[in-house]
């Protein structure tokens, strides 16, 4: 019976070379703990560019925004027309 083998831990050490064709950044070890706000620094150009994988979401949200703008515009136009018609009726009666 091999007791030394059963007492050893069965750990495997691996190094990640590539994930989906992208080399992962090396982990930085720092003495100071970093806050959550510093994570935003890594976003650099990502915030300014729209990821092409999300285009269906942006199209859907754009259509919703367009429908909402058209609805608000039509409501304002209807209120304006009702106001103008009421003014003409009042002028016809009293004027």
d(CA 32, CA 22): 28
20 alpha carbon, distance to own chain's centre: 22
The pLDDT, as a whole number, for residue 79 is 98
**pLDDT of 68-85, one tens digit each?**
999 999 999 999 999 999
Name the domain count of the chain: 1
Band (pLDDT 50/70/90 cuts) for residue 21 is: confident
Residues whose CB falls within 8 Å of the CB of residue 18, separated by 6 or more in sequence, listed in order:
24
What would the mean pLDDT of 55-60 be, rounded to a whole number?
Answer: 92
Residue 60 lies in a domain: yes
Domain interval for residue 91:
46-95
Query: Within a domain: residue 74?
Result: yes
In a domain, 6, yes or no: no
- Could you tell me if residue 76 is inside a domain? yes
Residue 3 lies in a domain: no
C-alpha 29: how far from chain center: 29
| pTM score, whole prediction | 0.45
With respect to residue 65, please indicate whether it lies within any of the assigned structural domains: yes
Inside any domain, residue 94 = yes
Q: Is residue 33 part of a domain?
A: no
Tell me the C-alpha to C-alpha distance, in Å, between residue 27 and each of 15, 16, 51.
Answer: 12, 11, 25
């Amino acid at each position: 019976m091999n007791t030394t083998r059963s007492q050893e831990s069965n750990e495997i050490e691996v190094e990640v070379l590539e994930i989906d064709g992208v080399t992962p950044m090396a982990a930085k070890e720092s003495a100071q703990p970093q806050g959550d706000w510093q994570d935003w620094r890594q976003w650099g150009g990502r915030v300014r560019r729209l990821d092409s994988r999300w285009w269906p979401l942006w199209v859907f949200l754009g259509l919703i925004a367009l429908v909402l703008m058209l609805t608000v515009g039509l409501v304002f136009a209807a209120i304006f027309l009702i106001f103008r018609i009421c003014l003409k009726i009042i002028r016809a009666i009293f004027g």
